[in-house]
Amino acid sequence: MTGASRWRRIAARFRPHRRAVLLAVTLMAVSVGLSAGSQLLLRRLIDEALPRHDVTAVGWLCGGMLAAGVIGTLASVGQTALTHRTGLRVVRDLRADLYDRVQRRPLGFFTENSTAEVQARLVSDMGGISEILTSTGQSVVFAALGLIAGFAVMLALNWPLALISIGLALLLNLANNVLARRGRVLARQRQDGVGEMMRVVGEDLSLSGIVLGRTLGRQEWQRDRFGTVSERIGDLSYRQRMVGTNAWALSAVTFACLPPAVYWLSGTVFPGLTLGTVVVIATLQLRLSGPIQQLLQLSTTVQSAGAMVDRVFDYLDAPATVEPAGPVTPGPVPALRVRGVGYTYRNRRALHDVDLEIPAGSFVLIAGATGSGKSTLALALAGLLPPGEGVIEVAGSGPADERRLRELVTLVPQESVLFNASLRENLMLARPGATAAELAAATSAAALDELVARLPDGLDTTVGERGYQLSGGERQRLAVARGLLAPRGVIVLDEATSALDPATADRVVRGVVDHAGGRTVVMIAHRIPALHAGDRVVLLDGGRVRESGTHEELMALGGAYAAMGVRRDSVAPATAAGR
């Protein structure tokens, strides 16, 4: 992205706030104009009022300078408030758009990019952009207006000296651009390093990272890894700051020579200048050196911030293929049909031409060895992974896209995702308006009621970071209870009882089916739970459906399912619910 297009896109974000921007710029112009006007009053004070000892003129001129200073300060305060409020609103909207775009990226994006990298763009990069759009942006406009006003006054007083000053500013700008380009490259490298550091910290200083490092005796390696990344960021930061310092030093040395040059020119080349004119020109030269040096430094800052803007727009420009699911309204439980579904990851084929019937209100067990494609099929059924081949149909409605499937299916994954909040808050994420009776029914179905009764604060007990104040089995049961509360007609349990002992797992499965109340339950498991007559079993092998039928049919077949060592007496009597 070129510099012009980058800042054009940022400028477009200010269009809804153009009135506030116009008012802020007007207040800046008033402040700068009054400051420049006070210099003309100073010239008259030195050349006319003071030599004549005109007390009245001195009073009026000093009063005018005082009024200009007070009014200019008030205008500056007003524009600062407008600038910061408007800039922060633009940043808020930009950050929200970035969050929304990342949230709608396909699952592959999250497997290829670390969470820390996403956080770096949402927090660190957006923080840098916020600084540019508020304080830095205000300083740039102020300095530019100050230069324009100062040069205008100098042109009015002595145009040759004004042209010399303008030429000097242009030469300094050319020299600074060379340094600014280098600073931008270093800034992008530094921001990439910050993302890497956040990834390392997220991995090594999380609870799981601490446990891993201590149990494997790799704490020193973790510390060295962090130190390497930190040292790289420090080196890039030093080089980036030195680029800015060199630009400042170049302008500082140049402007140190200006006052003597003005006095020499006034005494030799332009001997007709009045004392007031000489003093005002020398004062303006010194006062202009500040905005020029500020613009040179800010130019480096803005160029460096361009790297952050590019990183943010890299995400904003990426396609967002996942549409939010619509509101779920009660309706008949759907029957699903999987037709020729296949899926290939970057380095392997996961599913091959899968055909599958999932009748409404049924219980379907999907079994198979590790790597057989069970979890991939679960993601496809839940509308989280679009099939590379084939379709998933809803009986009576035809092929369903991912959004439609997410409105019909809820997935309870093997790795429970819990927030650092209470059990109640984690449960009500699935149904914000859940009643106490509904929460109690869900926790009972997931065999979690005894735990809740033992906790001092019951459902209001905090589960800790990622739920680590609970055991693995308790986290899984909490996730199952949450899935039962979700208003979906199909529940997919992907190894959701893998951390439970067989007796508790069977109790949870029975509770899920009983609580489902006619909803479809699809269970993915290595360990075969207690089945009932009529329950369907699908055996995946190498991403293909190898066998499909009821438990009795597959045992009678004597094939791969029977060879898994499943007991014939694992079939329980049918329940009143129809299983």
The answer to whether residue 401 is domain-embedded is: no
Residues 300 and 423 in one domain: no
The answer to whether residue 431 is domain-embedded is: yes
| CATH number of the domain that residue 13 is part of | 1.20.1560.10
Of 159, 167, 150, 148, give the one whose Cα is nearest residue 273.
159
Residues 386, 379: Cα–Cα separation, whole Å: 8
Domain that holds residue 269: 3-316
Cβ atoms within 10 Å, residue 31:
25
Phi, psi of 232 (to 5 degrees): -65, -40
H or E element, residue 344 = strand 336-344
Helix, strand or coil, per DSSP, at residue 336: strand
What does each of the 579 residues of the chain score in pLDDT, given as a tens digit?
A: 565 677 788 888 888 998 998 998 899 889 888 888 888 888 888 888 888 888 888 899 899 989 998 998 899 899 888 888 898 899 889 988 888 888 888 877 877 777 777 888 888 888 888 888 887 777 778 778 877 887 787 777 777 777 776 676 666 666 666 666 677 677 778 878 887 887 787 778 776 677 667 766 777 888 888 888 888 888 888 887 787 777 677 666 766 666 677 677 776 777 777 777 777 777 776 666 667 666 666 666 676 677 788 888 888 888 777 776 665 656 678 889 999 999 988 778 899 999 999 999 899 999 888 888 999 999 999 888 888 899 999 987 888 888 888 888 988 988 878 888 889 988 888 888 889 999 999 999 998 888 888 888 888 988 887 777 888 888 889 999 999 998 888 999 998 888 888 888 888 888 988 888 889 999 998 777 877 777 899 999 889 999 898 888 888 888 888 887 654 445 454 443 445
| CATH number of the domain that residue 518 is part of | 3.40.50.300
Residues 493, 442: Cα–Cα separation, whole Å: 15
Phi, psi of 403 (to 5 degrees): -65, -45
The answer to whether residue 305 is domain-embedded is: yes
Residues 514, 409: Cα–Cα separation, whole Å: 18
β-strands 536-541, 531-532 pairing:
unpaired
Give residue 461's identity as a one-letter amino acid code. Answer: T
Helix, strand or coil, per DSSP, at residue 337: strand
Residues 287 and 367 in one domain: no
The answer to whether residue 445 is domain-embedded is: yes
| Domain count along the chain | 2
